[in-house]
């Protein structure tokens, strides 16, 4: 709920509030972020407090303007003499409200956007969790899983998802959505379906790329693989056969270790067996492990996001180790995989020849859903 008083410190904010405009400063567009209030937008166009009071007391429907949420949008249109002509309030999950001003009276008109739009869509308004709220909105389990699998590449559902965030799914008759869009306070992540040459449907960002990342084979510059993945290996320290569920890259102590793909730091710890160890999470199912490190990268802690190629630590021989090397693991849903054999999905792109139509469709969907 936004309040409509005007504390003096807000005045400083107003000066920073630069509206996007077209047509000689007569048409202003705004998108609401957390903490925004309608009066901020109103005043930034140069309109007066008297007019705002008049507007607010003109009709009880005007109170809707004080009840705004991130992702909602406003247009304020002025006449040539900079007097008010029209306000268009477009809430994310409701029909637009038009308010016209003729210099004396305000006229209200609510348009039914759904009647004019061919697009069908589902809005998942986050109150508890994606799983809970999506089910409540009628989204089936398979689609919810798809959403988690995709968006986990760019967000941690346990940390980043906030009450009031939204997911918007648009449909074109298939069982799976045509677009999946996350609208949060700080960012919007929009994914659009595209069928590849084999007819397989994938979701791409508007730049054409899928949201996942391609893994580099080794997270370190190594001299050789000193021990591969095996179910049974002689352990010289424990003097017994044990499975080796990772790949050992031999490299001198202090050799930098880099994230092989973008991900989230899940765990940074010192354990008896692994020594100094880092766990990275990539998407919803994939975890990579880096053990026996001499040091962690400065400032690295759980909850950090890392980019592909970002320094995370240095090779060492901490924990149960016979000499300097990186012990590297890939786990999918907790199951250890052989890094030398596994074929991980690569990031793929919409072919150049199809980009214009792909981007045109993406733009149309965002426009119809009123998402910037």
**Shortest spacing between CB 248 and Zn ion, in angstroms:** 4
Per-residue CA distances from 311 to 35, 121, 259, 282 (Å): 36, 41, 7, 16
Stretch that binds Zn ion, among 117-125, 142-150, 197-205, 245-253 (CB under 5 A): 245-253
Label residue 278 exposed, middle or buried (CB < 10 Å: 0-12, 13-18, 19+): buried
- 327 part of the interface to Zn ion, by CB under 5 A: yes
**Shortest spacing between CB 242 and Zn ion, in angstroms:** 10
314: β partners: 256, 295
- 245 part of the interface to Zn ion, by CB under 5 A: no
Nearer to Zn ion, 177 or 246 (CB): 246
Nearer to Zn ion, 168 or 291 (CB): 291
Which residue from 36, 160, 248, 329 is in contact with Zn ion, where contact means CB under 5 A? 248
- CA neighbor of 283 nearest in space, from 312, 300, 268, 305: 305
182: β partners: 167, 189
Which residue from 246, 260, 313, 316 is in contact with Zn ion, where contact means CB under 5 A? 246
97: β partners: 89, 110
* Residue 89, CA atoms < 13 Å, CB-side half-sphere: 23
**Shortest spacing between CB 339 and Zn ion, in angstroms:** 11
274/86 Cα distance (integer angstroms) = 65
Where are the alpha helices (H) located in 181-322, listed in sequence order?
A: none
Stretch that binds Zn ion, among 2-10, 12-20, 268-276, 327-335 (CB under 5 A): 327-335
- 213 part of the interface to Zn ion, by CB under 5 A: no
Stretch that binds Zn ion, among 21-29, 164-172, 320-328, 334-342 (CB under 5 A): 320-328
- Contact code string over 272-311 relative to Zn ion, x by CB under 5 A: ----------------------------------------
Nearer to Zn ion, 232 or 301 (CB): 232
Nearer to Zn ion, 202 or 327 (CB): 327
365/349 Cα distance (integer angstroms) = 19
**Shortest spacing between CB 227 and Zn ion, in angstroms:** 6
Please work out, in degrees rounded to the nearest 5, the angle formed at the alpha carbon of residue 133 by the alpha carbons of 174 and 36. Answer: 105
10/13 Cα distance (integer angstroms) = 5
DSSP 3-state of 352? helix
The size of the interface with Zn ion (CB under 5 A), counted in residues, is 3
**Shortest spacing between CB 310 and Zn ion, in angstroms:** 23
The residues that touch Zn ion, with contacts defined as CB under 5 A, are: 246, 248, 327
């Amino acid at each position: 709920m936004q309040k409509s008083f005007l504390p003096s410190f807000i005045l400083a904010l107003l000066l920073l509030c630069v509206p996007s405009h077209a047509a000689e400063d007569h048409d202003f567009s705004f998108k609401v972020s957390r903490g925004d209030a309608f009066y901020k937008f109103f005043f930034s166009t140069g309109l007066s407090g008297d007019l705002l009071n008049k507007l607010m007391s003109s009709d009880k429907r005007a109170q809707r303007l004080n009840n705004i949420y991130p992702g909602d949008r406003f247009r304020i249109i002025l006449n040539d003499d900079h007097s008010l002509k029209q306000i268009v309030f477009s809430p994310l999950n409701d029909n637009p409200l038009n308010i016209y001003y003729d210099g004396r009276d305000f006229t209200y008109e609510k348009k039914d956007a759904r009647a004019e739009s061919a697009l069908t869509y589902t809005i998942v308004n986050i109150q508890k969790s994606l799983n809970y709220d999506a089910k409540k909105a009628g989204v089936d389990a398979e689609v919810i899983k798809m959403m988690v699998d995709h968006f986990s590449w760019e967000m941690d559902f346990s940390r980043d998802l906030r009450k009031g965030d939204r997911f918007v799914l648009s449909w074109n008759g298939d069982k799976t959505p045509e677009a999946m869009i996350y609208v949060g306070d700080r960012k919007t992540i929009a994914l659009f379906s595209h069928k590849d040459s084999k007819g397989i449907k994938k979701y791409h960002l508007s730049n054409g790329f899928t949201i996942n990342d391609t893994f580099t084979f080794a997270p370190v510059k190594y001299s050789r693989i000193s021990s591969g993945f095996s179910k049974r290996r002689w352990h010289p320290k424990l003097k017994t056969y044990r499975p080796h569920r990772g790949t050992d890259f031999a490299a001198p102590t202090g050799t930098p270790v880099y994230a092989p793909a973008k991900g989230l730091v899940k765990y940074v710890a010192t354990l008896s067996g692994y020594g100094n160890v880092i766990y990275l999470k990539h998407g919803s199912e994939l975890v990579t492990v880096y053990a026996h490190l001499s040091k962690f990268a400065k400032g690295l802690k759980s909850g950090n996001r890392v980019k592909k190629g970002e320094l995370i630590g240095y090779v060492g021989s901490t924990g149960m180790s016979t000499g300097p090397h990186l012990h590297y693991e890939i786990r999918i849903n907790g199951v250890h995989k052989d890094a030398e054999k596994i074929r991980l999905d690569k990031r793929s792109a919409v072919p150049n020849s199809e980009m214009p139509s792909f981007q045109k469709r993406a733009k149309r969907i965002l426009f119809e859903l009123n998402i910037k």
